[in-house]
Amino acid sequence: MSVWDEVVGQPEAVAMLSASAEAAAMIVAGGTPAPGVMTHAWLFTGPPGSGRSSTARAFAGALQCVVADDRPGCGECSGCRTTLHGTHADVRVVAPEGLSISVAEMRSLVQISARRPTSGRWQVVIIEDADRLTEGAANALLKAVEEPPARTVFLLCAPSDHPDDVSVTIRSRCRLVSLGSPRPAAIASALEAVDGVSPEMAQWAAAVCGGHVGRARRLASDEQTRSRREAVLRIPLALRKPADVFTCADELIKAAEDDASTANESRNESEREALETAMGAGGTGKGTAAASRGAKGALKDLEKRQKSRATRTQRDSLDMALVDLAAFYRDALVVRTGSEAALMHPDRAQDSRTAAAQWSSESILRRLEAVLACREAIEVNVKPRIAIEAMVTTLHRG
């Protein structure tokens, strides 16, 4: 099994990155590859679910592969396995738990990236959400990208290379890897081969995930995820009277809060226990009183980070629900106009036909625009409940 098996439906990107990993192996061996094949900074772009982070991790695994210099990325050696499992000493992953990546976090990372590899072949830094860098963090990263150490590679992931996502100065120093939404057939094949999902479930999840590989995996493996999707897609035809506006808004908010709680509960508890142990909880020797006082401040900082993480998880969950809603209205418009485009929710085709028969094209468009406007409002920090209630009101009125 190769590290590239983690990359779904991106053959052009895999071919390019494989060639670069071979050039990187040549550099480590003391050779001189063709100019431009391997570089120190990469920018992976693509729509949500296209596999930006998975592709970056697979490339990092190929760079650390210790077995095959001619075709690195075997997937079996210690370099490949520890990279893919997130335990390699020379591969650091920045995945913001809050709404942004701070300058302090980036400065610390830049200092570490300047060191030579300790056990691997390269020092690799993966920034999963480079579009969440604050201005100060981006400036700190820019200095490292401008003058990189000889054996350090930066792998940045962002929705696009637009200046709103990644600054022009950073982008200009990176090699671009553009990913597209994988085809349903490629997603279904990966679910069967890599995740062991049954063919029927794999085909259904691939058909309704909207090209989002991670979403397909959750739909195929988690009954609660499937139930929440069903609840969201019932909303358009359930808005019959004004009181339904608040009921549906409450359901959307509660589902997002439950998602955040479920995703973070066990992690929060383990982090708290680890911190308390590190600060001497339960100790009886000298210094335990001072350690206990210091622990209060550390616990307060931890709670702040956990709250920020919960906020982000809630917003990500809400955004996925809004994407499903937008796709429903898009399907209704497809049916209404007689287009031959494939439906995003083929299993809800009857509901799409019902909506298309009840509403005009203009009314469907207004509803679709309300969903998109709600996504934008939440993105700029409008309180989710306010944004959701305004959207659902428009969905009811049409």
> Which tens digit of pLDDT belongs to each residue from 227-276?
888 989 999 999 888 888 888 888 888 877 776 666 666 666 676 676 66
Tens of pLDDT, residues 280-296? 655 555 555 555 555 66
333 pLDDT tier (thresholds 50, 70, 90): very high
Mean local confidence (pLDDT), 379-385: 86
Residue 142 CB neighbour total at 10 angstroms: 17
Q: CA 48, CA 179: separation in Å to the nearest integer?
A: 10
Mean local confidence (pLDDT), 366-373: 95
CB–CB of 312/99 below 8 Å?
Answer: yes
Q: What is the pLDDT of residue 60?
A: 95
Range name among 97-101, 122-126, 161-165 with the lowest pLDDT average: 97-101
Tens of pLDDT, residues 55-107? 999 999 999 998 866 678 888 899 999 999 989 999 999 887 666 788 888 88
Q: CA 370, CA 207: separation in Å to the nearest integer?
A: 25
In sequence order, what E strands does 19-178 have? 41-45, 91-94, 123-127, 152-158, 175-178
Tens of pLDDT, residues 52-65? 999 999 999 999 99
Instruction: Measure the CA dihedral 100/299/385/218, to 10°.
Output: 70
CB burial of residue 254 (10 Å; 0-12, 13-18, 19+): exposed
Nearest to 236 by CA among 355, 117, 89, 67: 355
Is the model's pLDDT at 300 over the cut of 90? no
112 pLDDT tier (thresholds 50, 70, 90): confident
Q: What is the pLDDT of residue 290?
A: 53
49 pLDDT tier (thresholds 50, 70, 90): confident
Q: What is the pLDDT of residue 283?
A: 52
Q: Give the dihedral sign, CA 294/134/142/62.
A: positive
